[in-house]
Amino acid sequence: MPKTPRTAPPPSPNVWSDDRTLDPGARPPQGPLTGRPGRLTDMPFLLRQEERPEVVSLVPSWPKDRHWRAMSDPDHQYILFQDAEERVVGYVVLGGLTNGDGCLELVRMVAAPPGFGTGTAMARAVLAHAFGPLGAHRVGLSLFSDNACARRLFANVGFVLEGKLRDAVRGPRGYRSLTLMGMLRRDYQSGF
């Protein structure tokens, strides 16, 4: 998979146009998903997803400039997934690409809309990418401990429960704990 472009121009509200995306109520994703590098024109899609009420409580939303910095940073890779009709159906952000030890982080993943197997397909594709072309040794992630759907998904695709950070994040309704999960290359190769 080609890398995310690194020479992004500075952010400006005028340079982003929208992409073909899957709006709530639209037909579910069609056919196999294809990953492609994220680009600045994906910004409205990213921001819109992170404003969805069911996402806000599970993935702390990043403002536009935070996304722009990450997208322009060689340490991160944005992967946008499209269905057979080229509608964008979700995204994953990987981190840790420049740390030199092959330990990557699945920083965030959002399916739009959820409940159609998109999350599972994206996770499998990202693991193949991480342990394939990226040559990762490990992929780790953290998620809010009350995110039962994501926890089930990541366990389904082979992530191992590694621990819990109690009261690690303070939100509007108090402290929340984070669950840590990870997968090593040998887990992946053994088919877990």
Ligand X SMILES: CC(C)(COP(=O)(O)OP(=O)(O)OC[C@H]1O[C@@H](n2cnc3c(N)ncnc32)[C@H](O)[C@@H]1OP(=O)(O)O)[C@@H](O)C(=O)NCCC(=O)NCCS
Binding site for ligand X (CB under 6 A): 55, 58-59, 108-111, 114-120, 143, 147-150, 152-153, 156
Other CB atoms within a 10 A radius of the CB of residue 48 amount to 14
> At its nearest, how many Å lie between ligand X and the CB of residue 131?
19
C-beta closer to ligand X: residue 97 or 119: 119
CA distances from 90 to 14, 21, 35, 105 (A): 23, 9, 9, 17
* HEC profile of 112-160: CCCCCCHHHHHHHHHHHHHHCCCCCCEEEEEEECCCHHHHHHHHHCCCE
Other CB atoms within a 10 A radius of the CB of residue 121 amount to 20
> At its nearest, how many Å lie between ligand X and the CB of residue 27?
15
> At its nearest, how many Å lie between ligand X and the CB of residue 151?
7
- What distance in Å separates the CA atoms of residue 115 and residue 86, rounded to the nearest whole number? 19
Other CB atoms within a 10 A radius of the CB of residue 79 amount to 20
C-beta closer to ligand X: residue 36 or 151: 151
C-beta closer to ligand X: residue 100 or 152: 152
> At its nearest, how many Å lie between ligand X and the CB of residue 37?
19
